[in-house]
Structure 1
Amino acid sequence: MRTALNFQRSEAPSFDLSSLTWVRQQAGGPSAAGAQWPHYAVVFVEETLQAGGAAAEKLGAAELYFVAPGQPAWSAAPEWTEGQVLRFTDEFADLADHDRDLLLFRLFRGPAGEGPVQVPRDQAAELGCLLASMKRQAAGVSLLRDDLLRAYLKTLLLHCARLRQQQFGGASSPVPSGLLGRFQQLLEANYTRWKSVAEYAHQLRVTPNHLSVRVRQETGQPASDHIRRRIMLEAQRLAGHTDASLKQVAYQLGFDDVAHFSKLFKRCTGVTFSHFREQARVQYRFPEPNLMVA
């Protein structure tokens, strides 16, 4: 039986995370139009089964399929596969023009013939955790829910872009270019080590002011906000989905001063670390659903 949390009126939701089996079932039913919503779709195949009925056996790596708006998400992966389908609109993703080109156009409208992206087992676990976090976040109606979902979505797309680059390489690879792209790559790899704009600017061989101005021009926010938001996103993930203490989370994120980290967490989220954890644990007491967010 399908369980759904649907925060929509009558129109198609702007964010949807469902099992591939359910999406296929809807393809031939009264909700068939949902299979061709004007969404981007990432199909994450967790188990590839070789056709053969009871003799089916699991094959190797997980796979990623990318479906552009207007195309039926259910038809992307072979019919004997199982997995999850993440669908979202351009408006919900709310990406800057630079990121929209790199993470939407090139991933979902790239050269034909490349086929699915193979996902090594360890990285498949990372993607699975990200999708699980999206499910738990979408299940509630908490403060900043949509903002966190967008941040998780962008992180997932960056992982997908990197995997595609590793497999196919070449000019078609959606690797961020320019100062903003290089900053984003450095941030994703070093946010637990570097906390200041100056550290990133030094690595990028520009002045801190130049970096902040350029990032603000392309995203509407200075580099310092991007750094702080990425740190807090991980802090909230750890607070909500692990049993790590405030001190452990602070150290894991590179803060030697736990009191400073605690004040920063409250300033950014509006609540204390312990209060946020309590809210998250109440929020996530839901069955594992297929989720829709309008």
Structure 2
Amino acid sequence: MNVLNTDQQVPTYTLEQDPVIGGRLFTMARFEGALTHQSELLVPHRKDYYLLVFTRQGNSRHWVDMTPYVTRPHTMYVFVPNQLTVKEEPKPMWATAVAFTKEFLALQENAALSKLPLIQNPRNAHELLLTDADVAFIEDMLEKIHAEYRSPGEWQQRMLTAWLTVLLTYLSRLYTEQFESSEVSTDKILLKEFHGKIGENFRELHQVSEYAGLLHVSAGYLSEVVKAQSGRPAIAHIHERLVLESRRLLFHTRHSSKEIAFELGFSDASYFNRFFKRETNLTPAEYRAATREMYQ
């Protein structure tokens, strides 16, 4: 598996830059065998858009946030912005991909989609397992979306939004069944909003009070709700996100602890080292050595 050198920054690809399915706000592609122009995907990278890949056949191996996956047939793979991804080698794949940007979700007719569990992805999930009934439904939806995608016209955008809404809502139900409880409450919504704000601001904001300000609640109330809903203090969620990003960079790059500390908003490398050791029981150097040895 490739890693980035110390002088290489983790590239972030926009949808237009995607070497395989490039597009603007929304695009769709079908793969019937070997993929070409994959060299950019063989180094650790991020996407700044959402990508859904429904696989029909293939056994390629890829990594998402330090977790390896071997592509399974009749499975849905979900990529969301900022996950760190790398493919191990180009291999043939038979699949259908749908991709869209944050700007697409910001369009008035699509705004409700951004609230769906699949899009918010609080569990940082990637692989959705499907029953035969799920596969039949998803294949039907993808056929409908593909037909509209290939038929430009006055009603194309509305029809694409309509079918995509059905697909994403269905997948969100599966996501909830697989990864979460289905109970919805005001407190659960606040917890999800808290996770969303952490995802947007964790590099700059490290204190519960700062997130409480963004959510227009008191720090005490936010701490109480988060603890009741998750069983963990609010600060633990912030630290968890910082550790995840630290692990991503330690695993997929050769960046020094000082460089990673600076990227994540720590005042100095020694403070970052103490923080990482406290949270993981390993120093950054020990974590990097242990994981590299494990996955050689």
Q: Specify the TM-score bucket, using the shorter chain as the normaliser.
A: 0.3 to 0.5
Question: As a proportion of its length, which structure holds more helix?
Answer: 1
- RCO greater where, 1 or 2, for CA within 8 Å and sep 6 or more? 1
